[in-house]
Structure 1
Amino acid sequence: MLQLNFRTRKQAFLDKYLTGESIDYRQIVSLFVPILVDQAFIIGLNMLNTAMISSSGVAAVSAVNMVDSLNIFLISVFIAVSTGGTVVVAQYKGSGNDLMVSRAAASAVTSVSLLALLLCVFIGIFHNLTLTALFGSASADVFSNAKTYLVGSSLSYMGIALTEAVCGALRGIGRTRASLALSMIMNFSYVLLNVLFINLLHMGVVGMALSVNIARYGAAVCALFYLMKMDTNLHVQLQDLLKLNVAMIKRILLVGIPFAAEQLFFNGGKMLTQVFIVSLGTYAIATNAICGSIAGVLQIPANALALTTVTVVGQCMGRRNVEDARKFTKTFLGLSACACLLMGMIVVPLFHPIVSLFHPPEAIVPDIFKIVILTSILQIPFWSFSFLMPSALRAAGDSKFTSIVSMLSMWLFRIVLGYILGIVLHFGIVGVWLAMNCEWGVRGAIFLRRFYGKKWYRHRVID
């Protein structure tokens, strides 16, 4: 009897909160689970990579963290355009126009690849000038490692661009299992190659650069093979990828460019924060790297929900069903907050076993613990409104507003407050992270106000 009541209540919950005219709970679960597994592997494997490179010394992990902040800044540009492709593909899928779904997917892959190529050339020419301008105050051994890793990792941009563009198109039509498989190929091979080059051959930062290139280009080959030979939905051919469909690229860029600008300013702000973290010393850089890895673990389910939101809301808006878009966004916000609470309850008790993976100097462990506790608590009310909500707004075409808000909140709150707390008031790296958490709350409040208005769903992404 109790089991029957539980099943009845579960079914009532699923029907009420996760089923609508546009999509039902079975489709949402089939979308979410592969994305969740993907995020868990990406974050978990990245944490292992950070742990592995930490065995090469504090200078190596500090250099990788510094360069990765720059890599994220640059890679975010073409990932943003890839997200624009996901939105356009999802809306065409929702409207039932399969021909335009195929054209949107091909245009997303083409435009993202061209952007990646330009960024690779840019870093190849200006890598030394860029590192000197941003991290010139770093110690000589950290700077040398950073230069090697930046040049090596920039060569892999085309590989990850192709893979991300294909995965974005697949998520747009709901093929998250195929997207998961491609992501796992890239990330598993990266870890295995790191074990070979770093742990067995002791190649340090050079080994990590080799690993990232082999893994990303291997995944790109698999992605293109799947797209052109195995896919039964998108029907993309090689000649489609070589065409420049200007009209379709404009639609993708309409969503992608504001998001790319947001990511540039947002990650640019994070890089500026990294600059004054560098001034706090090598231990502060290492603390920031380790805390970033652990924070990624805390946010795995919430990130997966944010990615699912783009596809679900995009398909709802393709059908012009605003009520479904509102309902699913509210449900995902609640689930995301619960997920943040659950992850905090799991990670905090396991803090010491987790942090020991990074071999940190004893002097920085108390600061790492303070930041993990702070983030675990404040992400529950703030993270979902700050990151999942703009995914819903962007999926409806409200990209310009979300980008402007994110840029302003980053520069007016996170950077200024981070500098005041971290440098002026001498709270150090803990002050920088406190400022970041406060900025989540400010940004989330603005997005929530927008969501309860009408302007966000009045955009027309597709005809």
Structure 2
Amino acid sequence: MREVNIIGPSMRRKTVFLLDKYLTGESLDYKKIFAIIIPVLVDQAFIILMSLLNTAMISSSGVAAVSAVSMVDSLNIFLINVFVAVATGGTVIVAQYKGSGNQEMVSKAASQAISAVAILSVFISAFVIIFHTPTLNLLFGQAEAEVFENARIFLIGSCISYPFIAVYQAVTGALRGVAETKACLGLSLIMNLTYLALNILLISVFDMGVMGLVISVITARVLGMFVSVIYLMKYNHTLRFHIKNALKLNFSILKKIMIIGIPFAAEQMFFNGGKLLTQTFIVQLGTLAITVNAISGSIGLLYQIGGNALSITIVTVVGQCIGQRNIADARKFVKSFIGISTVFFVIAAVILLPLFPLIVKLFAPPPEIVPSIFALTLLIAIAQPFLWSISFIMPSALRAAGDSNFTSLTSLLTMWVIRVVLGYVLGITFQFGIMGVWIAMVIEWGIRGSIFVWRFRGEKWYSRKLI
């Protein structure tokens, strides 16, 4: 017992020393950073596990259903990330005003971010619903008839839900800007638990397939929007949100939000447009290849739980540091987050690779595609610790400092010049199939991340003053 008493305090002192060294600065200390990270980490873990379970549940409706959902989800990600981009502009401005101590502008920035995202989402939703058939024909015209019909149902249902998820994203983005990630976690749990419960009921119990998924997603997102707005109006005292402030547009604040939001939105459109184009390569390879891609992608998300949480958190942390003009802290925290993310990926690989046989059984895939799923999973398990963090966490940090044009242009160029072109060459021309498409993706991570690291070593990334 005496030895334990000696070692215990010693280990605690070493731990506190390391936390002070890498996660404490003049702007924030490690306790505040952990208070931001942990709810986001739990939220990301829950969302990704939900995605895994939902894909597994829809797999019970057959290969055509899971292929259709996978195809439309790639389009959903493309469109929803446009809303998220504008919401991120709000997060950055809110975080910088919070760091500067200007509470009045924190409130105004939050209201304007919600207004901008809501208006944008209504226009996009209406446009896609009107032109859903030519959109699907353009992207997935070579898909089998049953897959195409399921995709049509899921796309229209998803579009109906866009304004609701957009407002929810804007509210949680503003809350993250003031580091209220516990509230974000609570709102996420309400929406996603509703989504999971309805999926179990409608897909697993009533066997409603894609239509059950549509009803679930609309209901959960409507609830998520109403709960988030009610929370903001009745229970949050930091953002001081009032509907009348959101209804009155302030173009001065909107301009600041759009300085971040528009380049990021353009990046997301073209970046995810590149992903959509690579999806059309996969469609050419047949329904089984689409299924391999969908299941491998869902499993791959498990590895990214820690990295995604840090990528979200770094916007708040760097935004508040830049608001105080504390560049040294911003640099320190970015380096620390990259290191922690790498550790997360290594731990994830060590835990998840041995569990692959159990995880893949959730999807009940045809036995002949299991080796392909494992090969793709192994590829990213090896590549992510080295390449993912610099490719995704680093640009989030640069964007939080106001360096949105450079990060967006870099992402666009590397996506279209490397991932799309190389993906076609390796996957279709050289007939490596889906493995070729994924190898191109990994190569693009490395090149894009290297450019961001080079930018971070200079001074231009924090030279633009937003507030």
Which whole-Å CA distance do the structure 1 matches of 2:196 and 2:369 have between them?
26
Matched with 1:295 is 300
Cα distance, 1:144 vs. partner?
A: 0.5
C-alpha deviations, 1:394-445, integer Å up to 9, x for none? 0000000000000000001111111111111111111111110111000000
Does residue 218 (structure 1) correspond to residue 223 (structure 2)? The answer is: yes
1:354 is matched with which residue: 319, 339, 359? 359
Matches within 5 A, 1:308-457: 308-457=313-462
C-alpha deviations, 1:46-94, integer Å up to 9, x for none? 1100000000000000000000111111111111000010000000000
Which whole-Å CA distance do the structure 1 matches of 2:448 and 2:65 have between them?
34
In the superposition, the TM-score normalised over structure 1's length comes to 0.99
Which whole-Å CA distance do the structure 1 matches of 2:378 and 2:215 have between them?
35
Matches within 5 A, 1:143-222: 143-222=148-227
Which whole-Å CA distance do the structure 1 matches of 2:297 and 2:251 have between them?
39
Matched with 1:88 is 93
- Matching residue's letter, 1:220: M
- Matching residue's letter, 1:330: K
Does residue 33 (structure 1) correspond to residue 38 (structure 2)? The answer is: yes
- Matching residue's letter, 1:252: I
Which whole-Å CA distance do the structure 1 matches of 2:269 and 2:136 have between them?
17
Greater Cα shift, 215-224 or 240-249: 240-249
Cα distance, 1:200 vs. partner?
A: 1.1
2:135 is matched with which residue: 130, 136, 140? 130
4+ residue runs over 2 A deviation: none
Matches within 5 A, 1:213-292: 213-292=218-297
Cα distance, 1:166 vs. partner?
A: 0.3
Which whole-Å CA distance do the structure 1 matches of 2:245 and 2:302 have between them?
38
Which whole-Å CA distance do the structure 1 matches of 2:385 and 2:426 have between them?
22
Which whole-Å CA distance do the structure 2 matches of 1:185 and 1:411 have between them?
38
Structure 1 unaligned spans of 5+: none
- Matching residue's letter, 1:115: L
Structure 2 unaligned spans of 5+: 1-5
Which whole-Å CA distance do the structure 2 matches of 1:391 and 1:263 have between them?
13
Which whole-Å CA distance do the structure 1 matches of 2:369 and 2:427 have between them?
15
Greater Cα shift, 317-326 or 229-238: 229-238
Matched with 2:64 is 59
Which whole-Å CA distance do the structure 2 matches of 1:353 and 1:413 have between them?
34
1:112 is matched with which residue: 113, 117, 123? 117
Which whole-Å CA distance do the structure 1 matches of 2:248 and 2:407 have between them?
31
Matched with 1:13 is 18
Cα distance, 1:151 vs. partner?
A: 0.5
- Matching residue's letter, 2:436: G
Which whole-Å CA distance do the structure 2 matches of 1:251 and 1:292 have between them?
35
Matched with 1:121 is 126
Cα distance, 1:2 vs. partner?
A: 1.4
Which whole-Å CA distance do the structure 2 matches of 1:363 and 1:115 have between them?
44
- Matching residue's letter, 2:206: L
Q: Report the identity percentage.
A: 57
C-alpha deviations, 1:184-213, integer Å up to 9, x for none? 111111111011111111111011011000
- Matching residue's letter, 1:32: I
Which whole-Å CA distance do the structure 2 matches of 1:119 and 1:196 have between them?
30
Which whole-Å CA distance do the structure 2 matches of 1:53 and 1:183 have between them?
22
C-alpha deviations, 1:95-145, integer Å up to 9, x for none? 000000000000010000111101110011100010011100000000000
Count of equivalent residues: 462
Does residue 45 (structure 1) correspond to residue 50 (structure 2)? The answer is: yes
Matched with 2:3 is none
Which whole-Å CA distance do the structure 2 matches of 1:181 and 1:167 have between them?
10
Which whole-Å CA distance do the structure 2 matches of 1:363 and 1:76 have between them?
34
